Amino acid sequence: MVIFFEKFARLSLKSTFIWSLCPQYSTALTTVGRALIVRSSQLIQHRYVHSRGLGASPANPGAAPPRLPFSRVTQEVLAFFRTLLPGRTITDPDLLKSSNVDWLKTVEGNSEVLLRPKTTEEVSQILRHCSERNLAVCPQGGNTGLVGGSVPVFDEIILSTSLMNQVITFDNISGILTCQAGCVLENLSNYLEERDFIMPLDLGAKGSCHIGGNVSTNAGGLRLLRYGSLRGTVLGLEVVLADGRILKCLATLRKDNTGYDLKQLFIGSEGTLGVITAVSILCPRKPKAVNVAFLGCSSFQQLLETFQYCRGMLGEILSAFEFLDASCMSLLEKHLKLTNPITESPFYIVIETAGSNATHDEEKLHQFLEEVMTSSLVTDGTVATEATKIKALWSLRERVTEALTHEGYTYKYDISLPVEKIYDLVQDMRGHLGDMAKNVVGYGHVGDGNLHLNITSPSKDPALLAAIEPYVYEWTSEWKGSISAEHGLGLKKRNYIYYSKPSEAVALMGMHTHSSEHTHTP
């Protein structure tokens, strides 16, 4: 890994859209969260040297790079915004506070302006204005991101989608929903459930996250196993580019092979290529029968074998396969007073089935449960078919993140690995960190090969961080895993992209952002 960094040359300001990697300058990629750093038709190139990075050091690799020479907000600019968005241009520091800090309370910016547009046209005018005056903008949805990408790094203008919360259309034959980017995921779920459909994704942050943010970060979640990722379910996007141009690709078609699929670039781009203002998404029918089983396994190997059986016997009705370890359970019991429904085990599995016929599904589920019980793959378990109990069992998995916040400072790692290796990383980290860490827990979407590794210490500890990083990334890289399965890069992980992507790929990403704006650079 060190070899790449030695090639990096000095920083020089050029015309790039955001941080980009341009091979002719051999620069490193720095992703400053979802901040759209726009320079009036000039793009800025960041050079970032990992070990000698500007603003970063081995002890604090996630630290922000220095502020680039963007303009500052003036009274004239404020006046423009106040005319454009009367009553929706916020400058009160108390109101700005919550938008300047991320959900984990680990990253804080100092923006002085928060804008709340209601329409795509307003977003377009804001971005054009900022682009002309070289003002940096930070798009913000529900501010639930975990990598420090949703809040300003410095004094970027925050562009919030919270008032863009209208459903545009819903077709109950095709199941295609079109809505503005600021719709809260849970509200969309409720809207659809009344019409006998559901959103194809579900995550713990559903009460606050916006669909635009979900798409920008290509959120995964609990239903990915069954319905696939947003790359498959999003049918169209309306995006406002940095210079204010509106890209209207809000198709509501399942099939459209006319040219390059541009929306795929924006999905997962974390707001670096444009601000998503509307989404059209394909929604599945609401299942008539949902069952949840909560099982205990005595070893990770048995957990994996249970997964095999699950796939085989539940197959088409399986909609989620999640796991958590004994340390997670004890934190849930300690901080949230939740009760373990079964006997204590080293590993717990949450299995959800969703189908169109309750009797059939229950039969399949009971056959599966009988099989895994009699073969002793599973040591204990319980089943829920009724809504209250289902929610209670799910909360054991969904609230682990919350329980961890009570332990002090959490170091979060969202890793994709070959399924057999998932728990090896947790055990290895425990051994490697020893007493430095208070807790080392593992949980996550084991069905998708995605581990959420969390380490806690009573307070932020640079020595602990240095012991964790880059060890965890090197470990991941060794097994060809991803250092950020679904959380994205944001501010905190921007420097680690090399652990999961070859330099040629990163170069191409940079070239793209470079060229996509060059067409309208004078």
Partner 1 sequence: MHRSSEVKHVASYLNTRGCECFGQPCESHCPVLTDRTIHVQLKTFIKIRVKPDRTGVVTDGVKHSMNPFCEIAVEEAIKLKEKKLVKEVVAVSCGPQQVQETIRTALAMGADRGIHVEVSGKDYETLGPLQVSKIFAALAKKEQADLIILGKQAIDDDCNQTGQMIAALLDWPQGTFASEMTLEADKMKVVREVDGGLETIKIKLPAVVTADLRLNTPRYATLPNIMKAKKKKIANVKPADLGVDVCSRLEVLKVDEPPQRQAGVKVETVDDLVGKLKEAGRV
Catalog residues that contact partner 1 under the rule CB under 8 A: 86-88, 186, 193-194, 207, 288, 294-295, 336-339, 341-343, 358, 369-370, 373, 378, 380-383, 385-389, 391-392, 395, 399
CB of 309 to partner 1, least distance (A): 14
- Whose tokens are 């300003």? That residue is 152
Complex with partner 1: residue 104 or 378, whichever CB lies closer: 378
Complex with partner 1: residue 89 or 416, whichever CB lies closer: 89
Which residues 6+ apart lie within 8 Å of 388 measured at CB?
none
Q: Measured between alpha carbons, how far is 50 from 63 in angstroms, rounded to an integer?
A: 11
- 499 in Cβ contact with 483 (< 8 Å): yes
- Longest CA pairwise span in the chain (Å): 74
CB of 373 to partner 1, least distance (A): 5
CB of 395 to partner 1, least distance (A): 6
CB of 372 to partner 1, least distance (A): 9
In terms of C-beta density within 10 A (0-12 exposed, 13-18 middle, 19 or more buried), how is residue 15 classed? Answer: middle
How many residues does this entry show for the chain?
A: 522
CB of 386 to partner 1, least distance (A): 4
Closest-CA residue to 202 (of 189, 215, 212): 189
Complex with partner 1: residue 108 or 380, whichever CB lies closer: 380
CB of 122 to partner 1, least distance (A): 15
CA 511 to chain centre: 24
Q: Measured between alpha carbons, how far is 473 from 460 in angstroms, rounded to an integer?
A: 20
Complex with partner 1: residue 162 or 495, whichever CB lies closer: 162
CA dist 248 → 160, 245, 269, 467 (Å): 20, 9, 17, 47
Cβ–Cβ contacts within 10 Å for residue 171, how many?
12
Complex with partner 1: residue 196 or 478, whichever CB lies closer: 196
Complex with partner 1: residue 55 or 207, whichever CB lies closer: 207
CB of 286 to partner 1, least distance (A): 11
Complex with partner 1: residue 443 or 499, whichever CB lies closer: 443
